[in-house]
Amino acid sequence: MWQDTALLIVYLGFVYSLIPQIIMNYKIKIVNLAWGFLIIAISGMFTSGIVLFTLNLILTPILNIITGILWAVVLIQKIVYRKKE
Reported pTM: 0.87
What integer pLDDT is reported at residue 66 of this predicted model? 93
What integer pLDDT is reported at residue 24 of this predicted model? 93
Contacts (Cβ under 8 Å, ≥6 apart) of 39: 75
Strand blocks (E) in the chain: none
What integer pLDDT is reported at residue 41 of this predicted model? 94
pLDDT, block means (10 residues), the chain with 85 residues: 87 91 92 92 94 91 93 95 70
Q: How many CA atoms, within 13 angstroms, populate the side-chain half-sphere of residue 40? A: 5
What integer pLDDT is reported at residue 53 of this predicted model? 92
